[in-house]
Amino acid sequence: MTSLKSIGQIGIPAKDINRAILFYKDLLELPLLFNTDTMAFFDCDGIRLMLSLPEKEQFTNASSVLYFQVDDITASYSQMKEKGVSFIDKPHVVAKMDSTETWMVFFNDTEGNTHALTSEVEV
């Protein structure tokens, strides 16, 4: 039996590939590995994000929520908001375990996908 090891790539649907490239490269500051007319590949700390124009109708729906880990969620939120990222809410505590709080804030990309910033904070 084959066992799964790790996630090597995550696909994110795009309606306008050039607009999506600018969002992920300029606003999220992810390194662009390479792109074609219909796809773009970014590095997110060893996991490859693939933006693509859907080849079939079944792939046109929004993707799964990506949770981007950050060290300082308040600073990251402020910096990204200044750049024009559209946030759904403000950073808030979603869970507390012992002396650690888990904080999140959700945002939309230019293609209708919802993602989040998350941070573990010692209290």
The predicted-structure confidence for 47-62, as pLDDT tens digits, reads as follows 999 999 987 776 777 6
Instruction: Calculate the CA 33 to chain-centre distance.
Output: 16
What is the DSSP code (8-state) at residue 62? -
Dump pLDDT digits (tens) for 34-49.
Answer: 999 999 999 999 999 9
Dump pLDDT digits (tens) for 67-112.
Answer: 999 999 999 999 999 999 999 999 999 999 999 999 999 999 999 8
Q: How confident is the model at residue 4 (pLDDT cuts 50, 70, 90)?
A: low
E strands, 1-123, in order: 9-13, 32-35, 39-44, 47-52, 66-69, 86-87, 92-97, 100-108, 114-122
| HSE (side-chain half, CA atoms, 13 Å) at 15 | 7
The pTM of the full predicted model, rounded to 2 decimals, is 0.84
